[in-house]
Amino acid sequence: MLVVAGTLTVIGWLMQHLADQGMIANGAYGIATLVAGLPIIFKAISALRARVMSIELLVSIALVGAVAILEFEEAAMVTFLFAFGNFLEQRTLQKTHQAIQNLTEMQPTTATMVVDGQYQEVEIDEVDEGAVLVVRVGDQVPVDGEIISGSAEVDEALITGESKLVDKTTGDQAYMGSIVENGQILVQAQKVGEDTTFGKIIELVEEAQDNQAPMSKFIDRFAKYYTPFVLVVAILILLFTKNLRLAITILVLACPGALVIGAPVSNVAGIGRGAKAGILIKGGDVIDQLAQVDTILFDKTGTVTEGRPTVKSIKEYQEDHWLALAADLEKQTNHPLARSIVEYYEKRGQKTTADFNLPITTIKGIGIQSEYQGQTIWIGSRRVLTENQIELTTQQARDLQVIESDGQSVVLMTVDQKLVLMMGLVDQVRKGVKETFEKLKQSGIDKQWMLTGDNSFIAEKIAKTIGINQVKAQMLPEEKALFLEQLQNDGRHVLFVGDGINDSPSIAKANVGIAMGNGTDVAIETSDVVLIDSDFSNIQNARRVAKATMRNTMQNVGIAIGTVALLLIGVAYGWVNMASGMLFHEISILVVIFNAMRLLRMKF
């Protein structure tokens, strides 16, 4: 529709001013007015039925009047400019329901139930509370429940956002959607379907998105008073002067074309400037909300940290090639800590891992085991020690305590019941995080909270590193969202930054949700802003863009209203007619556009 109206308007202008084909020009103008004008008229009628005098009513009366006095060019221009402004705003709206669909697709659809000692694969809807389910390597846990038998290493990133595998054994809780990486467990269902933690994540995202009504645009609030005022002025002029053309001229010239396009073009320019810096801002409403933010909540893993552990400490208790052997064995697994050990060895030795051609056996809940030159090799968590009844020397015990107290994840390597290698791994803090938080505080975001599913010790240590003193640890997704909602109820405008599926309810519920570009699809879909290159400093840059865009919008509003005021004064004194008035209108529109384009040159 917009393309047709724009093309016909251009054709009409060319026919009228270059080819001197007035009839063809008026025909093109007329069709363009009809194509772009009917939706405006229908919207004005709908608003009137709701007893609202919208800006569409003013535009409708103006275009009907322009046609009545045979000013087809003005009618086409007015309707096209108005339709173009609406188009620009609609282009910024994002589809959010796809995120819920993506979440739903991640739910387990089947489960393996234990019935009379036999395994039966059933649909997830057939599982009731109290049922006993077996979950093997590679399977998703289909319910929330208690582990009644077995042990395993479980990836709970879907629920807690933490990339580190969690050791689970009898008596521990298992959550729907988590994945068993090593081992096998029997789980007795306590919560199923929508009652599970993962089910609540979906429910929270859905609820938050349903409650995200678009904020009232300035132009709508302005039109509430401006439209009836202009109509009254035009009617009074008609009554006192009996001059229909003058009254219609007032309506046409009072139609704020620059105002209609001013806000959208500023938003588009601001969004474009953000995109050039790797900041994807999803619409004008987001810019408005982002400029008002005074509180920031953020996840830890994958947000302020890289989300990829690296080796920080290493203790070698025998001078041999055990690190090379460990790297060779670990490269056969897909465990995140294993990949980090391989990377560490290759960087330290500036060479690839050796090829010992040793088969490995994965031991559930512990690690891996292999044989080398008649010796038994174990690599894994602290359970390696208890499994093989290994006693540490005083120095080794001290080393282990130091590494663990530093918040590092420990990987041990034993050879024939002797500890030969101890490694501590940590997730690195992103560059510029501390500086960004300081700048955000200086810009008015004085409340800064880190919310994480990790343990308190590690959370406090990371918080101290980045200069944050407000931390909440060991939080589930619904607890994060509830805390966020409490802050909003206290009148805070909350920005939430995260990267995982577990963050998506909070990202969706926040006044502004920011997702790191390396995060999950769901977090990116539900967010208002995406940091494409995961540059943490772009959080501050995004807010600067938002504030600059809001200032630019208000400047454009001033230009638009000032132009209309000057034109009406000119008409009153006989200095301006409809043709010259439309020329000034078009000039004001160009001024507004050029003013908005300044945002594209904004420096960080």
Calculate the alpha carbon distances from 548 to 199, 276, 596 in Å. 40, 15, 10
Q: Which residues pair with 331 in a beta bridge?
A: none
| Residue 107 Cα to chain centre, angstroms | 21
What is the 3-class SS of 329-378, one letter each residue? HHCCCCCHHHHHHHHHHHHHHCCCCCCCCCCCEEECCCEEEEEECCEEEE
Q: How many CB atoms lie within 10 A of CB 517?
A: 16
State the Cα–Cα distance between residues 556 and 550, nearest whole angstrom.
10
For residue 325, what are its two tokens? Answer: 């052997």
The two structure tokens encoding residue 136: 């093997």
CA distance 520 to 190: 28
Q: Please give the radius of gyration of the chain, using alpha carbons only, rounded to the nearest integer.
A: 32
254 with 576: CB under 8 angstroms? no
**CA quadruple 29, 32, 38, 40: dihedral sign:** negative
Q: Assess contact for 595 and 552: CB atoms under 8 A.
A: yes
3-class SS letters over 14-36:
HHHHCCCCHHHHHHHHHHHHHHH
Q: How far apart are alpha carbons 145 and 160 in whole angstroms?
A: 16
Pick from 536, 542, 301: nearest CA to 436: 536
- What torsion, rounded to 10 degrees, do the Cα atoms 318, 320, 323, 324 define? -170
The amino acid occupying position 287 is: I
Task: Dump strand ranges (E) for 192-318.
Answer: 279-281, 295-298, 305-316
Yes or no: say if 295 and 554 are a contact pair by the CB < 8 Å rule.
Answer: no
Spatial contact of 475 and 482, defined as CB atoms under 8 Å apart: no
Which residues sit opposite 279 in a β-bridge?
531
- Cα 176 → chain centroid: 24
Q: Are 223 and 263 in contact (CB under 8 A)?
A: no
Under 8 Å between Cβ of 177 and 108: yes
Other beta carbons within 10 Å of 463: 20
**209 phi and psi angles, rounded to 5 deg:** -70, -40
Angle between helices 244-254 and 578-597 (to 10 degrees): 0
Q: Is 114 helix (H, G, I), strand (E, B) or coil?
A: strand
Spatial separation of the C-alpha atoms in residues 167 and 172, rounded to whole Å: 9
CA–CA separation, 57 vs 52, rounded Å? 9
Active site residue 299: yes
Distance (Å, whole) CA 376 – CA 418: 10
Q: Which of 139, 144, 299, 535 is catalytic?
A: 299
End-to-end CA distance of the chain: 39
Provide the annotated active-site residues. 299
